[in-house]
């Protein structure tokens, strides 16, 4: 039920942080991480996941298969 940020891909640019409607993103050790408990995949807020839409590096914000998909 959540996105995750691939740490090796993250440039630490912070673009995703203010866009997250759930305030689920924060900085840790120079890169950004998503709190899976807060992430709703932007369902109910926007048509597309905001972190994915704004991230400058492809395949950096990806679905975390460790969690079941979010159900609104």
For the bound state, the minimum distance from the C-beta of residue 56 to another protein, rounded and expressed in Å, comes to: 4
Using the rule CB under 8 A, is 28 a contact of another protein?
Answer: no
Residues facing residue 26 across a β-bridge: 33
d(CA 27, CA 18): 11
Using the rule CB under 8 A, is 44 a contact of another protein?
Answer: no
H-helix or E-strand spanning residue 14:
none
3 state DSSP class of 28: strand
Considering only 29, 47, 65, 71, the residue that binds another protein (CB under 8 A) is: 47
Considering only 6, 13, 44, 69, the residue that binds another protein (CB under 8 A) is: 13
């Amino acid at each position: 039920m959540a996105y995750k940020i691939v740490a090796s891909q993250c440039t630490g640019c912070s673009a995703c942080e203010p866009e997250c409607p759930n305030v689920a993103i924060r900085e840790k050790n120079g890169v950004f991480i998503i709190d899976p408990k807060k992430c709703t995949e932007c369902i109910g807020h926007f048509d597309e996941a905001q972190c994915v839409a704004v991230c400058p590096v492809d395949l950096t914000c990806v679905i975390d298969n460790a969690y079941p998909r979010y159900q609104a």
